[in-house]
Amino acid sequence: MSLLLDPLLLVLVALTFLVAGTVKGVIGMGMPTVSLALLTATVGLPSAMALLLAPTIITNIWQALVGGHLGQILRRLWLFLLASTVTVWLGVSVLARVDVRWLSALLGVLIIYYALSGLFRLGGGAIMRHGRHAGAVNGALTG
């Protein structure tokens, strides 16, 4: 049976997004972060990343359009978006060549850092937020 048609897998993916959305609503931690961690445990890192593409893009576009401030958002984030778009190709190249075990370990470290920085208010984001080139640096890291 195909993985796409496996009812148990479909239920697990749906529950993952439900839990991730609930966590986002309750504590504000990013839905992609929570869902990526849970999906990676269920379907593996490459499949989890593929499953996250559409919901992440759709929700980001929806939020940008519904808020009525698209022009303001683009003026503020254009450098971030450009750097992210350019470096995503590098990220895809790395994903295709690096052993999934190393990528999964890196994902675990990053999620732990993300959780601890939010819990203990480490403030790394505040430093990057104020710098002149913060958008480019953050975009490049995101890509």
Q: What is the pLDDT of residues 88-143, one digit of tens each?
A: 888 888 878 888 888 888 888 888 887 787 778 766 555 555 566 777 777 777 76
pLDDT of residue 128: 52
pLDDT greater than 80 at residue 84: yes
Supply the mean pLDDT for the chain: 81
Average confidence (pLDDT) over 75-96: 85
Residues for the chain: how many in total?
Answer: 143
Q: Confirm if 44 and 100 have CB atoms less than 8 A apart.
A: yes
Q: How far apart are CA 130 and CA 34, in angstroms?
A: 27
pLDDT band at 54, cuts 50/70/90?
confident
Residue 1: pLDDT band with limits 50, 70, 90: very low
Q: Give the DSSP per-residue string, 14-56.
A: HHHHHHHHHHHHHH---HHHHHHHHHHHHH-HHHHHHHHHHHH
